[in-house]
Amino acid sequence: MTQRKPLNLLIGAAFALAAGAASAQEITLKFHHFLPPNSNAQENLIKPWCEKIAKESGNRLKCQIYPAMQLGGTPPQLFDQAKDGVADLIWTVPTYQAGRFSKSEVFELPFMTLNAEKASPALWEYIQKHSLDEFKGTKLILAHVHDGAVFHFGSKGPRNLEEMKGLKVRAPTRIGSRVISAMGMIPVQMPAPAVPESISKGVVDGAMIPWEVVTPLKLQEITKFHVEVPVGMPKPSNTIFVIAMNQAKYDGLPADLKKVIDQNSGLEASKWAGKVFDGPEAGARKISEDRKNTFIRITPEEYKRWVTATDNVDDDWMKEVGAKGANGKALVDDAKALLKKYD
């Protein structure tokens, strides 16, 4: 028995060394998203987030970023790529999958949000309270909105609902489609990267899209008219975004690396992401102004007509989630209360 002690000590030391090596090894996370590498999302959100976790982990956590769907698939498939482990991390619009994230899409209802930095922590808290089940299979890192979508048209500059009637307009999500339809236009749902070609080829007359993606998609070269709401008023549409991580990948991390991920997740991270998406509007508008594009800001009276025209979108959404067992009115009321809380 005494002869085995040195052997046992050696075996124990070997296990300790192996464990230490495993905990010290570098882990590269595949981060997949759908926009170009020069997009606001990559340059000002994804890259800084990855740089932060690398620094805080002593370079044991690193990202390999794959923009523009370089790992294959389509934007609506991104969430499942994280869930299934095709990618370790994704940034996406979950509601590209129509009807799957129905409770979360309350923040996409018309004229709901004004400021992404303030609305994004409200969205995070709302998801934690009401719809975390919709993200099962992933670890949710952060959730945010953008600063709101406006209308960009190729060759027509409508100033009111009458002039908008019958125009074909890109919609980001099913709620966006309903907003466009309620305003008398014809919605054509597609992810943002498909917009430039669709306008160029006449598939659509224009797009409901935020300013922050106009520049990376070079829409200022294709669209000549930009139709906006009065200054300081909520825009007709918004979209929810998330960074999500494969749950098994997260679960397999050493405790200290989990802590790094946790410290860069949650409410404050969501607020920061919202601030990132509030930023690009002025620069994008300036580029379009320099091209002598036409800006149309609707009157306060016309704005009221837009709001009235889209009232039924909220009502229909409440009925739909009610049919799935949720209290739609209570969810809308709580979303509005959370927006007020963080205002």
Residue 253 pLDDT grade (very low, low, confident, very high; cuts 50, 70, 90): very high
Residue whose tokens read 């620069």: 283
How do strand 206-209 and strand 168-171 relate by DSSP bridges? parallel
Task: Indicate left, alpha or beta for 211 from its phi (over 0: left) and psi (-120 to 50: alpha).
Answer: alpha
Rounded CA separation 173/116 (Å): 18
Task: Supply the pLDDT for residue 1.
Answer: 46
Name which of 234, 212, 334, 198 is nearest 278 in CA terms.
Answer: 212
According to the CATH classification, is domain 150-237+281-309 in 3.40.190.170? yes
Which tens digit of pLDDT belongs to each residue from 285-301?
A: 999 999 999 999 999 99
Cα angle for residues 125, 126, 132 (degrees, 5° grid)? 95
- Determine the pLDDT at residue 255: 98
Range name among 23-27, 141-145, 325-329 with the lowest pLDDT average? 23-27
Q: Residues 100-116: pLDDT tens digits?
A: 999 999 999 999 999 99
Average pLDDT of the chain, as a whole number: 94
Higher pLDDT, 3 or 174: 174
d(CA 133, CA 69): 26
Give residue 238's pLDDT: 97
Overall average pLDDT of the 179-193 stretch:
97
Residue 39 has pLDDT above 50, yes or no: yes
Q: Residue 234: pLDDT band by 50, 70, 90 thresholds?
A: very high
Tell me the per-residue pLDDT of 305-319, one tens digit each, with 9 for 90 and over.
999 999 999 999 999
Q: Can you tell me the distance from the alpha carbon of 253 to that of 277, in angstroms, rounded to the nearest whole number?
A: 30
Tell me if 16 sits within 8 A of 24, measured CB to CB: no
Q: Closest Cα partner for 130 from 326, 340, 342, 339? A: 326
pLDDT band at 198 (very low <50, low <70, confident <90, very high): very high
Pinpoint the alpha helices (H) of 59-146.
78-84, 116-126
pLDDT at position 8 is 57
Give the percent of the chain with pLDDT over 70: 93
3 state SS of 214: coil
Lowest average pLDDT, out of 7-16, 240-249, 263-272, goes to 7-16
Q: 17 pLDDT exceeds 50?
A: no
Residue 280 carries which side chain, given as an amino acid letter? P
pTM score: 0.92
Strand partners, 226: 152, 295
CA–CA separation, 149 vs 129, rounded Å?
Answer: 26
Backbone angles phi, psi at 31, to 5 degrees: -115, 115
Tell me the angle at which helices 328-341 and 311-323 cross, rounded to the nearest 10 degrees: 120
The token duo for 152 is 């960009």
> Residue 12 has what pLDDT?
52
Cα R_g (the chain), whole angstroms: 23
- In angstroms, the CA 62 to CA 58 distance is 10
Point out which residues pair with 206 in neighbouring strands: 153, 169
Question: Maximum distance among all alpha carbons in the chain?
Answer: 94
- Between residues 23 and 153, the one the model is more confident about: 153
Region 226-254 average pLDDT: 98
Burial of residue 202 (number of CB atoms within 10 Å: 0-12, 13-18, 19+): exposed
Q: Which of 21-25, 48-52, 316-320 has the lowest mean pLDDT?
A: 21-25
| 22 vs 30 pLDDT, higher one | 30
CB 246 within 8 A of CB 256: no
Inform me whether the pLDDT recorded for 9 exceeds 60.
no
Residue position matching structure tokens 């991920």 = 261
CATH 3.40.190.170 residue window(s) in the chain: 26-145+239-278, 150-237+281-309
Please report the pLDDT score of residue 7 as a whole number. Answer: 52
Residue 206 scores a pLDDT above 70: yes
DSSP string, 306-332: HHHHTHHHHHHHHHHHHHTT--HHHHH
Residue 19 in this model has a pLDDT that exceeds 50: no
User: Per CATH, the architecture of 26-145+239-278 is what?
Assistant: 3-Layer(aba) Sandwich (3.40)
Stretch 88-108: mean pLDDT, rounded?
97
DSSP single-letter state for residue 156: -
The values of phi and psi at residue 294, to 5°, are -95, 130
Residue 3 scores a pLDDT above 80: no
